[in-house]
Chains A and B, each alone.
Chain A
Amino acid sequence: MIEIFLLMLAGAIGGWLMRRMGFSAKVFTHMTPTICILLFLMGLTVGSDPEIITNLSSLGLEGAILAVAGVLGSAIAAWFVAKWLDNKKPKE
């Protein structure tokens, strides 16, 4: 986990230096292609694992139900938190 922090710190220092020196950091910050490559690689890992693929039909539905429930449940709770924090903000 420490390498994640160090890489982000290095990137942040690089970005800060670029801003200070007047360079645009835009060319480095287009993340969609990188995200697509990451998900493609994750897909390759899942697709090529015979254990996951064999069990996919019987266990996939249960996993999908729990995944959707987890995402939806936490998103609904997040909506309440956002509303609450918004109401706590001093009105202008």
Chain B
Amino acid sequence: MKISFFTIGSFILGCLLGYAGLIPDGVNLTRITLYVLFVLIVQVGINIGSDSRMAAMIRTMSPKLLLVPLATVVGTFSLSAIAAALFIHRWGIWDCLAASSGFAYYSLSSIMIAEMKEPELGAALAAELGTVALLANVLREVITIGGAPLLKKWFGIYAPICAGGATTMDSTLPSISMACGQGVVFISILHGFLMDLSVPFFVTLFCSL
């Protein structure tokens, strides 16, 4: 709980300082963020390498674990469709599912949606739907990073992985491995890889419906 407070608090503090314009000119945030992410990935690697139980864990991995990405797809689309029908009236259900198809991969999904919906909705509305997708997927990533311990506590060991969607092989991997232990690192990477591949497919599918 304390860790979630600090992580979400860091994000909110960053938002406030960014909004206040306190970033010095010439600072390339994307590049710095990428380097910090690299540090995290190396830390995850050291964790794996220094864990003596890792070899046994790899040997016991089962193909049944492919059910985890399937759960992500089914769960995300089912509840997103229900939520869209109940609470979001400005957009159609397929539009909302296209936004959910980012599975936290916000950069790719929002750009694809804004591009693909332009002929149908016009540039302004398509950009708005792209922004909804951006916010939905950024928030999904932030909720996963900050909420991984709670998700694990409430919904079990695979919940932080499913919540992290396409980001579980990079940005959310450190929080997932912290919350669920080193044993889930391989399924988390496999899950992230498969979900990454699925994003262009599902975005294209729902944009064309």
Complex Cα distance, B169 from A37, in Å, reads 19
| List of A residues within 8 angstroms of B156 by Cβ | 78-79, 82-83
Whether A8 pairs with B174 at a CB distance below 8 angstroms is no
Whether B49 pairs with A48 at a CB distance below 8 angstroms is no
Interface string of A50-91 (1 = CB under 8 A from B): 011101100110111111111111111111111111001000
Whether A44 pairs with B50 at a CB distance below 8 angstroms is no
Q: Which residue of B lies closest to A43 (CB)?
A: B14
Would you call the interface of chain B mostly helix, strand, loop, or mixed? Answer: helix
Whether A62 pairs with B88 at a CB distance below 8 angstroms is yes
Q: Which residue of A lies closest to B137 (CB)?
A: A67
> Which residue in B70, B99, B158, B165 is a CB contact (below 8 Å) of A66?
B99
Interface membership of B138, Cβ < 8 A: yes
What 5 A-B pairs are tightest by C-beta distance, nearest first?
A11-B45, A43-B14, A47-B18, A15-B49, A73-B79
Size band of the interface chain B makes with A: 35 or more
> Which residue in B8, B12, B40, B100 is a CB contact (below 8 Å) of A31?
B40
| List of A residues within 8 angstroms of B140 by Cβ | 67, 70-71
> Given known contacts A71-B151, A85-B67, is B46 in contact with A47 (CB within 8 Å)?
no
Whether A73 pairs with B50 at a CB distance below 8 angstroms is no
| List of B residues within 8 angstroms of A38 by Cβ | 33, 36-37, 40, 145, 171
Report the minimal beta-carbon distance from A57 to chain B, rounded to whole angstroms.
Answer: 11
Query: Can you list 24 A-B contacts with CB-CB less than 8 angstroms, sorted by A residue number?
Result: A1-B169, A3-B38, A16-B50, A25-B49, A29-B43, A36-B6, A36-B7, A37-B10, A41-B32, A43-B14, A44-B14, A44-B23, A47-B16, A48-B18, A55-B131, A63-B99, A66-B100, A66-B136, A68-B139, A69-B79, A70-B136, A73-B80, A74-B75, A76-B155
